[in-house]
């Protein structure tokens, strides 16, 4: 291959890669957000399509009518589930908010006792004698005050903003269901249209990405939600036995933290146990440590079976993707960065980036040859 031809190919491939990265990072999120009802409709069509195919083949119901039956059933289930969950959450959150000042006062007393005990312990150590914890106490009290103050009554502006957002939400819901219907009803027509107007290489690449995404992301979130459910039941039972108020609500928060990589149940249970220990409540401290140990053991036993090695990632890669996700979109970015990282790693293993690797290796090789001085 001529040097000019080789570097023209390298330039075109690198330019394509740069444009693709810029599109995915800056353009694609805005496009997806703008057409979110259609994105949700497409996802729902993927979920409903197997059932529609079953009705079409086994019961001989036409695709359009089969989806109509499914969408009615799904709407009924969603409405009932949302009503039940919403009512339970509203009741729990109202009671939790009403008792928040009392819980704040009790927590302040326990934390003060714990800090006093820690200060006495530090004063008994010669080289830490005189260590002042007042600054830590003031900072902690300020943080708790901010939490309590932040849960004030909703303002008129917030209520009016919520009211204005209702028509938009209704339009998005209707558009989402209509998009789902057309994605199901005209699936074959849309596939033929796509294959007709898109290049074969592009279809192949998109198909590979789609298969990897469905396999990896589906397995990941399915496994994580199963683990979250198991941990929630364990934490709920433990908190009920420890006579903790609003155990079901606090347990849900702890189980959600356990679903996030590098966090786990110890993020809440360990500091809570330390406070209980130094405040003199040894039984509660021991119970929380035992609860944390049980959750840790169960998580380690269940996770390999549910997640599997095929969707696993190196710990350093996990940390790197989580940090990038956090910098891009805070907590939501941390959650979605793991499956995105899994897709990229699996695509790399499947050879999707071989051309890019060849371009970079050729550039580095030729640059290294350029630096060699003939004697």
Instruction: Indicate whether 160 belongs to any domain.
Output: no
Instruction: Indicate whether 193 belongs to any domain.
Output: no
Instruction: Indicate whether 144 belongs to any domain.
Output: no
Domain count, the chain: 1
Sign of CA pseudo-dihedral 272, 106, 242, 256:
negative
Distances (CA, A) of 205 to 70, 208, 352: 32, 5, 8
Instruction: Indicate whether 224 belongs to any domain.
Output: yes
Query: What's the pTM value of the predicted model, to 2 decimals?
Result: 0.60
* pLDDT over 50 (residue 88): yes
**So what's the pLDDT on residue 353?**
84
Instruction: Indicate whether 168 belongs to any domain.
Output: no
Instruction: Indicate whether 287 belongs to any domain.
Output: yes
Residue 373: count of CB within 10 angstroms of its CB: 5
* 263 band by pLDDT with thresholds 50, 70 and 90: confident
Distances (CA, A) of 119 to 108, 113, 115: 16, 10, 6
Instruction: Indicate whether 13 belongs to any domain.
Output: no
Q: Give the separation between CA 207 and CA 213, rounded to whole angstroms.
A: 10
* pLDDT over 60 (residue 141): no
Residue 300 domain boundaries: 200-369
Record the tokens describing residue 166, joined without a space.
């209702």
Instruction: Indicate whether 157 belongs to any domain.
Output: no
User: With 0-12 CB in 10 A as exposed, 13-18 as middle and 19+ as buried, what is 254?
Assistant: buried
**So what's the pLDDT on residue 232?**
93
The answer to whether the beta carbons of residues 346 and 209 sit under 8 Å apart is: no
Sign of CA pseudo-dihedral 48, 53, 55, 58:
negative
* pLDDT over 50 (residue 350): yes
């Amino acid at each position: 291959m001529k040097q000019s031809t080789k570097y023209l190919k390298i330039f075109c491939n690198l330019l394509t890669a740069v444009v693709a990265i810029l599109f995915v990072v800056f353009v694609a999120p805005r496009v997806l957000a703008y057409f979110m009802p259609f994105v949700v409709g497409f996802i729902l069509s993927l979920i409903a399509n197997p059932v529609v195919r079953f009705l079409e083949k086994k019961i001989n119901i036409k695709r359009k009518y089969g989806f109509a039956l499914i969408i009615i059933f799904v709407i009924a289930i969603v409405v009932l589930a949302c009503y039940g969950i919403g009512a339970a959450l509203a009741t729990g959150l109202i009671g939790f908010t009403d008792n928040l000042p009392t819980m704040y006062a009790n927590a302040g007393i326990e934390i003060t006792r714990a800090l006093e005990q820690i200060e006495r312990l530090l004063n008994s150590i010669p080289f830490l004698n005189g260590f002042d914890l007042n600054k830590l106490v003031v900072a902690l009290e300020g943080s708790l005050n901010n939490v309590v103050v932040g849960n004030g009554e909703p303002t008129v502006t917030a209520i009016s903003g919520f009211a204005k957002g209702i028509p938009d939400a209704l339009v998005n819901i209707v558009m989402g269901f209509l998009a789902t219907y057309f994605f199901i009803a005209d699936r074959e027509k849309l596939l033929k249209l796509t294959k007709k107007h898109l290049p074969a290489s592009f279809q192949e690449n998109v198909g590979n990405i789609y298969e990897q995404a469905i396999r990896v992301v589906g397995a990941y979130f399915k496994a994580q939600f199963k683990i979250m459910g198991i941990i929630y039941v364990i934490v709920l039972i433990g908190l009920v036995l420890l006579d903790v108020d609003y155990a079901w609500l606090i347990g849900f928060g702890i189980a959600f933290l356990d679903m996030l990589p590098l966090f786990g149940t110890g993020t809440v249970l360990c500091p809570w146990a330390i406070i209980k220990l130094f405040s003199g409540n040894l039984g509660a401290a021991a119970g929380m440590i035992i609860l944390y140990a049980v959750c840790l053991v169960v998580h380690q036993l269940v996770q390999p079976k549910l997640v599997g090695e095929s969707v696993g990632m190196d710990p350093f890669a996990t940390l790197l993707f989580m940090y990038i996700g956090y910098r891009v979109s805070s907590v939501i970015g941390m959650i979605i960065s793991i499956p995105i990282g899994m897709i990229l790693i699996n695509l790399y293993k499947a050879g999707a980036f071989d051309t890019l690797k060849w371009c970079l290796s050729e550039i580095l090789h030729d640059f290294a040859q350029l630096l060699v001085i003939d004697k």
